[in-house]
């Protein structure tokens, strides 16, 4: 029973069918000059009700690092949450691809940036000081790395702050679909004031297909050369375009995210009824964080249950993360809770 990530899920059958269909054309122009790639800008512009320029890439890390490299100079800095994927899980890719721009991690509850903390960070950053990296961009994650979701109002506060301080805004949307579904608002509401979005699809049913979506189209000028020199202009681009189109068609992306979020809600409900589990952050998407006694966490891992775990601030506990995907079945959740019910803590003799 594996709950380590949404990346463990396979590919949606609709997307596999779209790949197969794309393969029927005997030949197609390479490097994004094919008919399918050429319509992506229009399709995403329709989706977001904003004119945009789209570059498909094959990983979320590439999307983030490249998007950020279009936002900042090497001597500038990016404010982000201290637990953001770009800050702790991308092996320095943003710093590398931007040519050395500095990431500044900011604390915030439940994985979210808040304006008071951003204001403080800017105030103490030495803007204008020759010795200091100059903050030029905010990167926020929607759905956050803690599984929470920024409301439209929270996003507006951050984007207004950015505008007031002449900062660009990047959104890491590796789980963007989960946020759209969680909030139940129109997609375009979530990208107001956003300059560039890393639009995720892989975690939610695609086969290594993501898109960098530039709403601030000036940032896309000459971007293709940066993408090329970092190895991200793929030759058979039609297979990325085919996936993204199929992902959006008939709201597949929203259906998949609805299933993943629903599974996480079901899992959280089951876990919260079990002895020892304390849900740690509000379960708003497809991620479930809980504190559990360390012995139980290790026992579960010994039983072959897959999940991430780290030290918890609660004495004797581990903080664990379960992730549900579009193909997480109820039976798997039932099986997990049945297994947990069989756990018998070892009581030490006095
Ligand atoms: C929030 C977030 N952003 C970006 C990524 C990076 O995606 P990839 O592993 O495809 O590089 C991940 C992957 O786990 C993620 O969780």
327: how many CB neighbours lie within 10 A of its CB?
17
Nearest CA to ligand 1 atom 8: 60
- The number of the ligand 1 atom at minimal distance from the alpha carbon of 7 is 14
Q: Decide if 233 contacts 31 (C-beta within 8 A).
A: yes
Ligand 1 neighbours by CB, cut-off 6 Å: 59-61, 64, 85, 141, 145, 172, 174, 202
For residues 296, 301, 306, 307, the Cα torsion angle rounded to the nearest 10 degrees is 50
210-214 vs 168-173, strand pairing mode: unpaired
Q: What span, in angstroms and rounded, lies between the C-alpha atoms of 50 and 159?
A: 16
Q: Can you give the length of the chain in residues?
A: 350
Q: How far is the CA of 85 from the centre of ligand 1 (A)?
A: 7
Q: Decide if 299 contacts 233 (C-beta within 8 A).
A: no
Residues of the chain with CATH 3.40.640.10: 12-252
156: how many CB neighbours lie within 10 A of its CB?
14
What is the band of 312 on the pLDDT scale with cuts at 50, 70, 90? confident
Helix axes 40-48, 238-248, angle to 10 degrees: 30
Nearest CA to ligand 1 atom 6: 60
Q: How far is the CA of 350 from the centre of ligand 1 (A)?
A: 47
DSSP, res 281: S
Q: Which of 209, 215, 174, 167 is nearest to 191 (CA)?
A: 215
Q: How far is the CA of 255 from the centre of ligand 1 (A)?
A: 21
Q: How far is the CA of 61 from the centre of ligand 1 (A)?
A: 6
Q: Report pLDDT for 111.
A: 96
pLDDT, tens digit, for every residue of 217-265?
A: 999 999 999 999 999 999 999 999 999 999 999 999 999 999 999 999 9
* Residue 35 three-state SS: helix
Residue 325 has pLDDT above 90, yes or no: yes
What is the band of 344 on the pLDDT scale with cuts at 50, 70, 90? confident
Question: In the CATH scheme, what architecture does the domain 12-252 have?
Answer: 3-Layer(aba) Sandwich (3.40)
Residue 19 has pLDDT above 70, yes or no: yes
Q: What span, in angstroms and rounded, lies between the C-alpha atoms of 190 and 215?
A: 12
Which numeric CATH code is attached to 257-341?
3.90.1150.10
pLDDT, tens digit, for every residue of 161-216?
A: 999 999 999 999 999 999 999 999 999 999 999 999 999 999 999 999 999 999 99
Q: How far is the CA of 112 from the centre of ligand 1 (A)?
A: 17
Q: Which of 201, 148, 149, 199 is nearest to 170 (CA)?
A: 199
Which pTM was predicted?
A: 0.96
Q: Report pLDDT for 268.
A: 96
Q: What span, in angstroms and rounded, lies between the C-alpha atoms of 224 and 334?
A: 48
Averaged pLDDT for residues 335-341? 93
Mean pLDDT of the chain: 96
Question: Across 208-270, where does the E strand assignment appear?
Answer: 210-214
Ligand 1 pocket mutation pick from 174, 176, 210, 243 by most atoms within 8 angstroms of CB: 174
Q: Could you give the angle at the alpha carbon of 35 between the alpha carbons of 217 and 47, nearest 5°?
A: 45
For residues 12, 16, 17, 23, the Cα torsion angle rounded to the nearest 10 degrees is 160
Q: Decide if 204 contacts 173 (C-beta within 8 A).
A: no
Q: How far is the CA of 174 from the centre of ligand 1 (A)?
A: 6
Q: How far is the CA of 253 from the centre of ligand 1 (A)?
A: 17
Q: Collect all residues with Cβ–Cβ distance below 8 Å to 217 and sequence separation of at least 6.
A: 51, 52, 53
Q: What span, in angstroms and rounded, lies between the C-alpha atoms of 181 and 347?
A: 44
Residues of the chain with CATH 3.90.1150.10: 257-341
Ligand 1 pocket mutation pick from 7, 61, 211 by most atoms within 8 angstroms of CB: 61
Question: Across the chain, where does the E strand assignment appear?
Answer: 53-57, 76-81, 102-106, 134-141, 168-173, 196-199, 210-214, 278-279, 287-293, 308-311, 317-323
What is the band of 276 on the pLDDT scale with cuts at 50, 70, 90? confident
Q: What span, in angstroms and rounded, lies between the C-alpha atoms of 238 and 281?
A: 40
- The number of the ligand 1 atom at minimal distance from the alpha carbon of 5 is 14
Q: Decide if 214 contacts 170 (C-beta within 8 A).
A: no
- The number of the ligand 1 atom at minimal distance from the alpha carbon of 202 is 10
pLDDT, tens digit, for every residue of 115-172?
A: 999 999 999 999 999 999 999 999 999 999 999 999 999 999 999 999 999 999 999 9
Averaged pLDDT for residues 320-329? 97
Question: Across 39-181, where does the E strand assignment appear?
Answer: 53-57, 76-81, 102-106, 134-141, 168-173
Nearest CA to ligand 1 atom 4: 60
What is the band of 350 on the pLDDT scale with cuts at 50, 70, 90? low
* Residue 282 three-state SS: coil
Q: Report pLDDT for 274.
A: 85
Q: How far is the CA of 250 from the centre of ligand 1 (A)?
A: 25
- The number of the ligand 1 atom at minimal distance from the alpha carbon of 141 is 1
Q: How far is the CA of 151 from the centre of ligand 1 (A)?
A: 21
């Amino acid at each position: 029973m594996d709950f380590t990530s949404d990346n463990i899920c396979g590919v949606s059958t609709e997307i596999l069918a779209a790949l197969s269909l794309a393969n029927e054309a005997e030949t197609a122009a390479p490097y994004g000059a094919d008919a399918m790639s050429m319509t992506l800008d229009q399709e995403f512009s329709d989706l977001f009700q904003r004119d945009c320029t789209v570059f498909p890439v094959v990983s979320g890390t590439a999307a983030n690092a490249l998007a950020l490299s279009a936002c900042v100079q090497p001597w500038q800095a990016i404010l982000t949450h201290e637990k953001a994927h770009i800050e702790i899980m991308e092996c320095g890719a943003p710093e590398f691809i931007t040519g050395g721009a500095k990431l500044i991690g900011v604390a915030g509850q439940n994985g979210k940036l808040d304006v008071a903390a951003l204001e403080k960070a800017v105030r103490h950053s030495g803007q204008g000081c020759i010795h200091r990296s100059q903050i030029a961009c905010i990167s926020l994650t929607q759905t956050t790395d803690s599984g929470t979701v920024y409301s439209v109002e929270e996003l507006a506060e951050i984007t207004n702050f950015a505008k007031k301080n002449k900062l660009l805004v990047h959104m890491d949307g590796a789980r963007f679909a989960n946020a759209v579904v969680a909030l139940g608002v129109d997609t375009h509401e979530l990208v107001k004031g956003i300059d560039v979005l890393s639009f995720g699809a892989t975690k939610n049913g695609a086969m290594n297909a993501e898109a960098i979506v530039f709403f601030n189209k000036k940032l896309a000028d000459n971007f293709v050369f940066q993408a090329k020199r970092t190895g991200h202009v793929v030759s058979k681009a039609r297979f990325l375009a085919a996936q993204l189109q199929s992902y959006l068609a008939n709201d597949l992306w929203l259906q998949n995210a609805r299933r993943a979020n629903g599974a996480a809600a079901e899992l959280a409900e089951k876990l919260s009824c079990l002895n020892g589990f304390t849900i740690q952050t509000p379960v708003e998407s497809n991620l479930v964080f809980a504190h559990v006694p360390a012995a139980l966490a290790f026992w579960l891992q010994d039983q072959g249950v897959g999940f991430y775990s780290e030290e918890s601030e609660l004495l004797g506990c581990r903080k664990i993360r379960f992730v549900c995907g579009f193909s997480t079945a109820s039976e798997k959740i039932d099986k997990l809770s049945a297994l947990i019910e069989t756990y018998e803590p070892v009581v030490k003799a006095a």
